A and B are shown apart, each in its own frame.
Chain A
């Protein structure tokens, strides 16, 4: 379990980090919290020639509301989201998600950006960012570009990040009033990857009907999955158990889980059907200010 050899580089600025990525080719990797990369290196699934540690670059660990977005800097660690009371109040889906990731020691180091950039469909933030309709800021030598989350995950463990680029910011549109969300995950034990998990973000119209719905699914396909048909079925409707059951079925239809140690495909589809209904109920309660 000793990782392969590599060169370790500590840039002082973002442009310097990007220049190092270009200089050292596609065997160079960015090191942020390291809690996906270092385990992969120890198992020799990843053998980067160079690690470019961005954790000492000042000013990348912010979490703030600005210009209509909640902006999360690439070095913001999971623990920061748990510790900020205003995040818990205004972004319950985000905090629910963070609290289900690994354990406190891991969350002291792991970053939200890394959780996304790793491109693992078993990670928790991808589904949440799908539900929030987040945007990802990617910075390369020629400047920054914005990628909608729907275009960010391109294949199994593959994202829109090109060689020489760094994920620099996550942008979550600030939810309107009467919004609520929730993340529900079934795991075999605390800190495990999900057998299945669902992220729901809703906003209600003045008459109580569902105005907007975002639904992301974790670990039930090769890519983080948006349950588009379920979202469409909810939009414009009054919340009801029958509607939620229909959405649960549509979300299960959007899933293609595999049999593995965490359960059979059939079991995971059952989980999705049920978790969606529970998450929708709780999200509506939160949007109505009842919990």
Chain B
């Protein structure tokens, strides 16, 4: 087994730590760094509860080794709120009742973040395809879609104000 010293930027902060090559990124985040907002659901890259952003792209942290993230940038749900202000996606899930038990929510929000960055005005169908790698067993998805639409509108309004 090989041990590796890795340096990863997580939510803007740099972490250097020694890890076993076989340590999965999800375990590094949750067990070593106590960033437990990212969840483990199916543990088989099906459910999307462990979705994080790697250099801005949504990936499943259960199917990625921590060593692969060496010298890369990661964003987790803990980094989404900025300066005490909820991100429009977080606000959307609150306003539109996009969660019941909340287990899938961190993954949904991280996935929603990349989705809206690539496509700021998604149709309902595009959102449904866009979250096809995230399972929710409570909401029936309808309110999650409304939550993402809420965030899209809010982000576009902000954009217009800034322009």
Q: Which of A2, A51, A191 contacts B133 (CB 8 A)?
A: A191
Contact A39 B44 (CB under 8 A): yes
Beta-carbon nearest neighbor of A1 in chain B = B43
Residues of the B chain whose Cβ atoms lie less than 8 Å from the Cβ of A5: 1, 20-22
Residues of the A chain whose Cβ atoms lie less than 8 Å from the Cβ of B2: 6-8
Interface residues of B in 52-70 (CB under 8 A from A): 54, 57-60, 63-65, 67-68
Contact A35 B21 (CB under 8 A): no
Contact B132 A8 (CB under 8 A): no
Given contacts A1-B43, A105-B111, contact A7 B132 (CB under 8 A): no
Measured in the bound complex, the distance between the Cα atoms of B86 and A153 in whole Å is 51
Residues of the A chain whose Cβ atoms lie less than 8 Å from the Cβ of B76: none
Contact A109 B59 (CB under 8 A): yes
Contact A8 B67 (CB under 8 A): yes
Measured in the bound complex, the distance between the Cα atoms of B114 and A79 in whole Å is 13
Judge whether A104 is part of the interface by a CB distance below 8 angstroms: yes
Chain B nearest Cβ from A281, distance in angstroms: 23
Q: Which bucket holds chain B's interface residue count?
A: 20 to 34
Given contacts A5-B22, A103-B48, A108-B57, contact A34 B63 (CB under 8 A): yes
Contact B68 A55 (CB under 8 A): yes
Measured in the bound complex, the distance between the Cα atoms of B63 and A35 in whole Å is 7
Please tell me the number of chain A residues within 8 Å of chain B, measured between CB atoms. Answer: 27
Residues of the B chain whose Cβ atoms lie less than 8 Å from the Cβ of A2: 22, 24
Residues of the A chain whose Cβ atoms lie less than 8 Å from the Cβ of B143: none
Residues of the B chain whose Cβ atoms lie less than 8 Å from the Cβ of A85: none
Contact B68 A53 (CB under 8 A): yes
Measured in the bound complex, the distance between the Cα atoms of B5 and A115 in whole Å is 30
Of the listed residues B67, B114, B132, the one surrounded by the most CB atoms of chain A closer than 10 A to its CB is B132
Residues of the A chain whose Cβ atoms lie less than 8 Å from the Cβ of B7: none
Against B, the Cβ 8 Å flags (1 = close, 0 = not) of A1-35 are: 11111111000000000000000000000010011
Measured in the bound complex, the distance between the Cα atoms of B134 and A211 in whole Å is 43
Contact B63 A38 (CB under 8 A): yes
Chain A nearest Cβ from B61, distance in angstroms: 10
Beta-carbon nearest neighbor of A31 in chain B = B68
Residues of the B chain whose Cβ atoms lie less than 8 Å from the Cβ of A108: 54, 57-59
Q: Which of B67, B68, B114, B132 contacts A191 (CB 8 A)?
A: B132
5 closest Cβ pairs, A-B complex:
A103-B133, A5-B1, A8-B21, A7-B2, A190-B132
20 contacts between A and B (CB under 8 A): A3-B24, A5-B1, A6-B2, A34-B63, A34-B65, A38-B63, A39-B63, A51-B21, A103-B132, A104-B58, A104-B115, A104-B129, A105-B48, A105-B51, A105-B59, A105-B111, A106-B63, A109-B59, A109-B63, A191-B46
